[in-house]
Amino acid sequence: MATQGQTATSGFNLRDIPDANLLSDQAVSGQMETQLPTGRQIARKLALVIGVIAAAALLATKLPGLEEIPHRVAAADRGWMIIAALLELASTAAFAFAFHGVYDRRTSARASTSMSMAVQGLNVVLPSGGAGGLAVGAVLLDRAGVPRSFAAARTVALFLITSLVSFAAVIVAGFGAALAGHGTLMTTAVPAAVALLLIAALVALPRGESKGNGRLAKVRDSLRDGVGSSVELLRSGDRLVIGGAIGYFAFDVAALAVAFHAVGSAGLPLGLLVLAYTLGHGGAIIPIPGSAEGGLIGMFVLYGMSLPTATAAVLAYRALHAGVPVLLGMVGLWDVRRLMRAPDDLVVARHRAPARPAQQLDRAPCTA
């Protein structure tokens, strides 16, 4: 069994060789420019997201039967909405715990918290199933001096572990709902079976090096390393990683359930709620603003909610689900940029590497 900080596939301890990986990073630094979006680019992306969502919401309210939605959202119970906001804050905090644990506590607690907030905020403006923000997180870690190979493998692992919680929830909720007679087998047991097969397929990935140097081979190698790191972290029983990943999912599901109460609906039975939530968020894989909202509304209607109620609840939920991470993400990104000018506050002493040149901290930003 691999211990924490040791890859399950290679058999060597990553903690013992930071300097070797750093030399490798320096050797390729001229070929791989790590870039961060500027505040202006983030503002443009955020304005685009808000504009598209507002336009979609306005268009939806013009459809027959949906005229009442603006009133229902505006009249949402404040008490329930406050509870939903607190649950979103708890979900954000849980992700910070998972983030700190996955990266082996190499950065300080403050740095991990700020980075995780920045990642979640950027996930809102870079919708791609959660991968957009994590890619920026990998850039932040690279800037902090964390070995690139380690950061890459653990970034994939963080994505896989948080996704694993969602797949596990689909399995439990799907088979549970089927046994309880909620929904049809096609909408309960089938998604659960598919999720089980996907997990099995990932675990069964060959551990050897891929042949060839093509993009597909590189993706396969990255996925293989990420799976190995994920298995290692789960086997180690790291409480920050496991508890954080579960809390990140569970608190967010609870926030959506509370949003239904806020607009005057009891919502769905727990199993169907979890299925609609998880499958609906699959729409966020499509990298366009509004894809998550459309996916959630569609799934809740499929599982039995009326279109007006589903739309009102999802819009109320998404106002917090997007708003809380964006606000915290702006603070987090500002704090990370500040910390990068004081490396001693960024990386814990035992993992500290030679500071990178100050001029590298503000390279030309990526294109919008």
Q: How far is CA 60 from the centre of its chain?
A: 28
Tokens of 243: 């508890």
73, 315 contact by CB (below 8 A): yes
Tokens of 276: 């609609």
Q: Which residue has the higher pLDDT, 306 or 7?
A: 306
The reply to whether 58 falls in a domain is yes
Please tell me the predicted confidence (pLDDT) of residue 22.
35
The reply to whether 352 falls in a domain is no
Residues 6+ apart with CB under 8 A from 43: none
Q: Which residue has the higher pLDDT, 209 or 322?
A: 322
Q: Which amino acid is at 11?
A: G
256, 293 contact by CB (below 8 A): no
Tokens of 34: 């790590």
Q: Which residue has the higher pLDDT, 245 or 220?
A: 245
Tokens of 153: 């493998």
The reply to whether 248 falls in a domain is yes
Q: How far apart are CA 59 and CA 151, in angstroms?
A: 43
Reduced to 3 states, what is the DSSP secondary structure of residue 104? coil
275, 264 contact by CB (below 8 A): no
Residues 6+ apart with CB under 8 A from 7: 14, 153, 225, 228, 229, 232
207: number of Cβ within 10 Å: 11
Secondary structure letter of residue 356 according to DSSP: P
- The mean predicted confidence, pLDDT, of the chain is 76
Secondary structure letter of residue 269 according to DSSP: -
318 lies in which domain range? 37-147+232-344
Three-class DSSP labels, 14-74? HHHCHHHHHHHHHHHCCCCCCCCCCHHHHHHHHHHHHHHHHHHHHHHCCCCCCCCHHHHHH
Q: How far apart are CA 56 and CA 282, in angstroms?
A: 19
Q: How far apart are CA 113 and CA 346, in angstroms?
A: 11
pLDDT at 289 over 50: yes
Q: How far apart are CA 183 and CA 174, in angstroms?
A: 9
Q: How far apart are CA 364 and CA 41, in angstroms?
A: 12
pTM score of the predicted model: 0.76
Measured between alpha carbons, how far is residue 310 from residues 87, 141, 156 in Å?
20, 39, 33
pLDDT band at residue 134 using 50, 70 and 90 as cut-offs? low
Q: What is the per-residue pLDDT across 302-312, written as a single tens digit (0 to 9) for each?
A: 999 998 899 89
Q: What is the per-residue pLDDT across 222-264, written as a single tens digit (0 to 9) for each?
A: 777 778 888 888 889 899 999 999 999 999 999 999 999 999 9
Q: Which residue has the higher pLDDT, 154 or 284?
A: 154
The reply to whether 207 falls in a domain is no
pLDDT at 31 over 60: no
The reply to whether 197 falls in a domain is no
Task: Give the bridge partners for 316, in sequence order.
Answer: none
The reply to whether 253 falls in a domain is yes
Q: Taking phi first (over 0 means left), then psi (-120 to 50 degrees means alpha), and beta for anything else, what does residue 357 get? A: beta
Length of the chain in residues, anyone? 368
The total number of structural domains in the chain stands at 1
Closest CA to 209 of 10, 22, 14, 4: 10
pLDDT band at residue 138 using 50, 70 and 90 as cut-offs? confident
The reply to whether 171 falls in a domain is no
The reply to whether 221 falls in a domain is no
pLDDT band at residue 128 using 50, 70 and 90 as cut-offs? low
Q: How far apart are CA 170 and CA 188, in angstroms?
A: 9
Q: How far apart are CA 27 and CA 131, in angstroms?
A: 27
Closest CA to 148 of 157, 162, 138, 137: 138
